[in-house]
Amino acid sequence: MQILQIAGLGLAAAVLVVVVRKERPEMAMLLALAAGVIVFLVILPQIAEVVRLLEELAVRAHINVLFITDILKIIGIAYLAEFAGQICRDAGQESIGSRVEMAGKVIILVLAIPIISAVLDMFLKILY
Amino acid sequence: MTLDVSLIFKLAGIGILVAVLTLVLERADRKEYGQLVALAGVGVAFIFVLQLLGNLFSAVKTLFNL
């Protein structure tokens, strides 16, 4: 029952953050960051399982591998940007957090350019 | 991967210890030392967290082929 462990870790971390926050807000921020990282590291093998399933499905359906790797990259970038932005927001730096998220969105858009142009090519081929 | 809670407790311990030490040093009219202790505590905690964050980033990198 991994969810019990994770829930317990979250609750314990939350209590400790509240204890430390009044005297040392910077320590509380580091503590929250560490808790988030640990939870993600624990859940990572399951994500790897899902990713493997996606890749297998793509191979079976004869989908271009380029698209699948691009989509996986986009998911990873979205997760990292969201994570860092959320941490900044927790630390009270609203503006830095939203900048980080905006950078993530821009990078995702850049990564999606080949996919978008492929879709466009297909439409044009169908039209003419 | 097993759940490693020790880092959380380590960080909370550092936080509480630093808070108490700064309070004591401020009472003893050693405010400069109190600030130095707070800075050192934050530095140590930050190094711990940075190692963990490096693990996370490399794991995400390999998982999503970034």
**Tens of pLDDT along A71-119?**
889 988 998 999 999 989 988 889 999 999 999 999 999 999 988 898 8
**Whether the Cβ atoms of residue A88 and residue A97 lie closer than 8 Å to each other:** yes
Query: How far, in Å, are A8, A67, A75, A108 from residue A79 at the CA level?
Result: 23, 18, 6, 11
**Whether the Cβ atoms of residue A1 and residue B19 lie closer than 8 Å to each other:** no
- A108 assigned to some structural domain: yes
Burial class of residue A24, CB neighbours in 10 A (0-12, 13-18, 19+): buried
State how far the Cα of A92 lies from the Cα of A27, in Å rounded to an integer.
Answer: 14
Q: What is the domain extent for residue A89?
A: 64-128
Element (H or E) spanning B35, and its range? helix B31-63
Query: How many structural domains does chain A have?
Result: 1
Complex-level ipTM: 0.83
What is the domain partition of chain B in residue ranges?
Answer: 6-63
Smallest Cβ–Cβ distance between A73 and the set B5, B38, B64 belongs to B64
Query: CB of B8 within 8 Å of any CB in chain A?
Result: yes
Give the type of residue at A73.
K
**pLDDT over threshold 80, residue B3:** no
- A27 assigned to some structural domain: no
In this prediction, residue A100 carries a pLDDT of 95
Q: What is the dihedral of CA A91, A96, A98, A100, to 10 degrees?
A: -110
- A123 assigned to some structural domain: yes
The pTM for the full model equals 0.82
- What are the b/e assignments for B2-12, b being 16+ CB within 10 Å? eeeeebbeebb
- Chain A hits for B48, CB-CB cut-off 8 Å, are 34
What chain A residue is nearest to B12 in terms of C-alpha separation?
Answer: A16
- A125 assigned to some structural domain: yes
State how far the Cα of A97 lies from the Cα of A111, in Å rounded to an integer.
Answer: 21
- A25 assigned to some structural domain: no
